[in-house]
Amino acid sequence: MYKSEEIYEDAKKLLASEYGEIEKESFVYDFNFTDYYEKEMGKRLKKRFMVFKEPMERDKLLEVKLYAMKIEEKLSVDGKRRINLDPGYITKHSLVLATRKERSHRIYLGEGIFAEVTLTFTKKGCRYFEWTYKDYKQEKLCGFFQEIRKELNI
């Protein structure tokens, strides 16, 4: 999630320098599902997803989230983020995200970071939970994740 295309491109370059070529990006959408980030990041936020060519080992999720937080800090102005990076991975069964917010259903990875199964995949599409963020419940986004899953042959 980000404030401007310029910030997104800056973060994208930093991520690619660390994790390699970006294989695919999702469609861009307006992030107007909550005002939670408005005080820090402002209004009219955008969001999209990127997938790297080289798959991430699941046990690297903590490390990747800590690096993402460094990028957020580097691109911040006056202590306020202009981009929010939540890395994750897709398996045959689910989409798992890393977050700093502790909740009852999240697994602690260490260093203040938690993992969450955000959605699972079924023969009919995506299965959501009460905690799944509203924007992840978009049919079009489920299609994007399903496409990634298919391309990974998982």
Q: Could you report the per-residue pLDDT of 93-132, keeping only the tens digit for each?
A: 999 999 999 999 999 999 999 999 999 999 999 999 999 9
Helix, strand, or coil here: 14? helix
Q: How many domains does the chain have?
A: 1
Q: Is the dihedral of CA 38, 41, 45, 51 positive or negative?
A: negative
CA 64/CA 111 separation, integer angstroms: 12
The stretches of the chain forming alpha helices (DSSP H) are 5-19, 38-41, 61-74, 139-151
Helix, strand, or coil here: 80? strand
Q: What is the pTM of this model?
A: 0.93
Q: Quick one: tokens of 119? A: 């959605």
Could you list the residue range(s) of the whole structural domain that residue 39 is in? 5-151
- What is the reported pLDDT for 154? 65
| pLDDT per residue as tens digits for the range 18-48 | 999 999 999 999 999 999 999 999 999 999 9
